[in-house]
Every structure is written in structure tokens, then in C-alpha cells.
Amino acid sequence: MKIVLFGATGMVGQGVLRECLREPQVEKVLAVGRTATGQSDPKLTELVLLDMFNFSAIEPQLKGYDACFFCLGISSAGMSEKDYRHITYDLTLAAAKTLVKLNPNITFIYVSGQGTDSSGTSRSMWARVKGATENALLALPFKAAYMFRPGIIRPLHGVRSKTPLYQGFYVALKPVLGLWQRFFPDHITTTEQMGKAMLHAARDGAPKPLLETRDINRL
């Protein structure tokens, strides 16, 4: 497989990139983002793009891919709905529409979140915006599209969150997260499981388009 990965420097993206590079069936990974990953691997190619809303200049480099893992995202804390929607909805759809135009048989996997609302009636702004993004992605003519909705994600193998608040949370709870996962396996996943589940869905498909934590772990 040849994979396009957005958000490879984020916590989920770091874990997904690790699993992609370790997977023998992955031939090439193209990491697209505003900053470089700092990693070097024969499979890895990077595109640092300052304007993430306009992909016209790099369209030739986005052709020939089997799957896109879209792990790019930001916290809604302190943001207006307009600004959050611009980053979450507009940016994601700009990338998705470009990729499906260039790769009609591509599978698109989007990292959403537990509590996302597809009906648009939630009181939580982020849930409505994520839900609208999911609906728009599922309406595009991909070979397949899967929305990953993880709850708590346990970082493994040196993966770190770029958000100081979240990183502090993971450091403080590191001794107990493993125990929580053992006793509540349907509510916690790991960066490793996220990466492996994405690879499985891209290669073999998944039973449904909306995948909660328990579905991700089963994959």
C-alpha cells in the first residue's frame, strides 16, 4: 500500500506513522503537514505545506495512493465555532476532495472523536462540527471511508502530545492507564492500536463506517 498521512507530528499521527513504517505491506508513506516529522526512513517522504487549504501546487505528488489517514486536528478550547469549523471542516474537505479527484480508488480514514454528533443537534460545538465533517466525507465518492471515534488514547513507544494540557494528563495518569485499559477495554485504545486498525481498514475494510473505541480495538 501507498499511504498519505496528514498530521504525522500529532500524538495520533506519530503512532500511526510508526505502525505504517513497521508494516511490510506499506511501500510508501507521504506525510503532509506544516512541520516536518524529523524522522528518516526509506519509506517516508515529507511535504511541508504552509497553506493547508490549497493543494493545487502539489497535486502531482498526491497521485497514486491507496489510502489517506487523516490525523490532523486541534482542540476546540477557546475557539469560536467559525474558527474551529474553518480548521476542522474546511481544511479536511479541501484535502479529501483533492485526494478523491486524483485517486478515485482511495480509502479515506478520518480521526474524529467519541461523542461526535452526526445529527447536528448537540450542544457541544466541537461535536456538531466533527459530525458535519464526517457526513461530508461519507458523501464523497471514495472507495471506502471510515470515521474513527476514539475516546481515551494511551500513547505508547515514546509518542507525546503536542498539547501541554493533554501531555500533562498522560504523564500524570501513565501508571494507571494500562490498568484502566485492562479493565475497561472498550473505552481506551492506544496509539499502536489506532495505527494497526487503520492499516487493517485500509487493506481489508471494516464492518461499518463509524468506528467507536471498541470497534477500533477489535480491528
CATH of the domain at 38: 3.40.50.720
DSSP state of 60: G
Describe the strand order of the beta sheet including 67-70 as a list of residue ranges. Answer: 44-48, 28-33, 2-6, 67-70, 107-111, 144-149, 210-212
Give the number of domains in the chain: 1
Q: What is the pLDDT of residues 135-172, one digit of tens each?
A: 999 999 999 999 999 988 888 877 776 665 565 566 55
Tell which wins on pLDDT, 79 or 185: 79
Residue spans of beta strands (DSSP E) within the chain? 2-6, 28-33, 44-48, 67-70, 107-111, 144-149, 152-154, 188-190, 210-212
pLDDT at site 202: 98
DSSP state of 56: G
What does the alpha-carbon distance between residue 32 and residue 29 come to, in Å, rounded to a whole number? 10
The amino acid present at 13, given as its one-letter code, is: G
Structural domain containing residue 43: 2-216
Tell which wins on pLDDT, 167 or 60: 60
What does the alpha-carbon distance between residue 74 and residue 3 come to, in Å, rounded to a whole number? 22
* Grid cell of 186 as nine digits: 472498550
